[in-house]
Chain A
Amino acid sequence: MSKAVHAKDLNIYYGSFLAVEGVNIEIKPKTVTALIGPSGCGKSTFLRSINRMHEVIPGARVEGSLTLDGKELYGAGVDPVGVRRQIGMVFQRPNPFPTMSIYENVIAGQKLNNKRAGKKATDELVERSLRGANLWSEVKDRLDKPGSGLSGGQQQRLCIARAIAVQPDVLLMDEPCSALDPISTLAIEDLINELKTDYTIVIVTHNMQQAARVSDFTGFFTIEGTGKPGHLVEMDETKTIFSQPKQKATEDYVSGRFG
């Protein structure tokens, strides 16, 4: 569990449009890395390239090298489906499967892939994942009810439970709290703190306080202008980024003078 992600000279394209250019980043295991930056600078694009969700979009492709514990993710013969089993993802908007109950949603990863386990083992997995996502006490009496009947914050935690139920090595989160109230946000931030003992976490956020609260490292992306590619300006320990960043652009951004 918990592996390192390493990007070298990563260029990410939508068709012929270069969206993100020359990313060099090292993400250590069992840490939380926050990605910040102005809208449209390519944070989501970079995040989605880590678990090869980027190429789901027609024409989208990636150049350069991206490794998971030294293994090339974009190498010849690498199965994107296998990559996604090791690198889980939580999306900006909660997206539980509407046809499935809460219980089924948690084990969706197993269910969709026809992995069958005994009733007891499955019950345990569901409870463990829901506890891990801080949702167990709220839903334990209505596991057979549809997941879409939960509140937005609960749905998002259900999606986190679903993502950790497949026991990935890395967990990617794209603005997981942007649709949530402060209390649910706090619950998810607490959760991220607990999860980092087991997982490598990369989280995109627009909320500086959140980045400061939850992350060990912070990477700042920016973009020179429309039509230009986004790029990683610097990445350092969160403390450093928020107190004495090396780049002027980073300082302007985190102090609110830009974007």
Chain B
Amino acid sequence: MTSDTRTDTDRSRTDGELAEQAVVPMPLVRAELPRWAPWGILVASLVVVGGILAATGNFGIGLTLVLGALLYAVVTYVVSRSVEGGRKATDRVVTIVVNVAFLIALIPLISVIVTVLQNGIARFDGAFFTNSMRGVVGEGGGGYHAIMGTLIITALAAAMSIPVGILTAVYLVEYGKGRLARAITFFVDVMTGIPSIVAGLFAFAFFALFAGPGIRFGFGGAVALSILMIPVVVRSTEEMLKIVPNELREAAYALGTPKWRTILKVVIPTSIAGIASGVTLAVARVIGETAPLLIIAGLTTGVNLNPFSGRMTTLPVFAYNSYAAPGVPREPFIDRAWTSALVLIIIVLILNLLARLVATLFAPKTR
């Protein structure tokens, strides 16, 4: 360890190199900036920057915030260093950097939600949830057919992927040793990176073998989506199962519990919260897929509740198509596209809430 990487706590060490130097005891009390100081500096920085910009005629909210944050960091460092010393000053600057990074990450998120709300709220009405697009050329109509298509296709995909994914993960963590397990892990990794269009083409090519090249149906879409979903479920479930302490498995074995029951009643319940959120993420990943469904599920304006025959439209496809190929006039189509996006976001939100619910209901409790 070189002397410049040594931290304060190392001063208590008495290794040879240190013993030569006089050990300076660290004071327990040192000067500290008052509580209001960071806020004071922040407001002052913003005011100063805003004032200067306004005086030079360049005032703008964004520029003020960016330059103000910079000034804030610099002033905080200088002030803190002179009062509290170097370590505290670095601490304060790093805190500022982390907070700013968080705010920057938040900007696109909030902007997306606000934009979708603003544009989508116009057609967020009863008709959107009850009408399809059959026979609609301009105003009116709705996304009922697309909502049902999304729900049916995603539910089918989930029904296929979740059991397969979870069982694969159980195999890999609890049973898999050696070559087969390594091969599965490898293919899961490869599958995680498959572009979604490839999954769509695969499903199309596969079903075209049986039904000819004109085949378009909802179940095919579900198959394409589960190809995308399974690796995500496997990966996240695997991580969750791995963090279940081995002691719990041994505790169950020691009570004379067979392995499969131990997995079913101890390992999975202990990790169910994590598995549930992993599964939700996987569903959220595929529910917004457009390209593969465009190929294999096709497009339709009417309601089709049978996934095994006939074309089926989902919300992303509906949004895409309304935007890419609007009728005349354009506006009602664009409005419906935004509302589809809004409904999609709401569905994902509900899924997340459901996962939270599952997590809190089943999670290990401590009180």
Contact = CB atoms under 8 A, between A and B. Distances in A.
A90 to B, nearest CB: 8
Contact of B248 (A51, A53, A97, A145): A97
B262 A88 contact: no
Contacts of A149: 365-367
Most buried by A among B247, B251, B253: B251
A84 B269 contact: no
Interface residues of B, number: 26
A53 B255 contact: no
B255 A108 contact: yes
A95 interface: yes
Contact of B367 (A108, A145, A162): A145
B266 interface: yes
A53 B366 contact: no
Given A91-B250, A112-B261, A112-B262, A166 B256 contact: yes
A89 B254 contact: yes
A36 interface: no
A88 B269 contact: no
Contacts of A112: 252, 255, 257, 261-262, 265-266
Contacts of B256: 81-82, 84-86, 109, 113, 166
Interface residues of A, number: 32
Interface SS of B by simple majority: helix
Contacts of B262: 112
B251 A56 contact: no
B13 interface: no
A146 B257 contact: no
Interface string B228-271: 00000000000000000101111111111110011001100110
Nearest to B257: A112
Interface in A58-117: 58, 81-82, 84-86, 88-89, 91, 93, 95-99, 108-109, 111-114
B364 interface: yes
A86 B365 CA distance: 30
Nearest to A84: B256
A15 to B, nearest CB: 13
Contacts of A93: 247
A98 B258 CA distance: 19
Nearest to A98: B364
B364 A95 contact: no
5 contacts: A53-B250, A58-B177, A99-B266, A108-B255, A113-B256
Given A89-B254, A113-B256, A149-B366, 8 more contacts: A84-B256, A97-B248, A97-B270, A98-B364, A99-B270, A108-B255, A109-B256, A162-B255
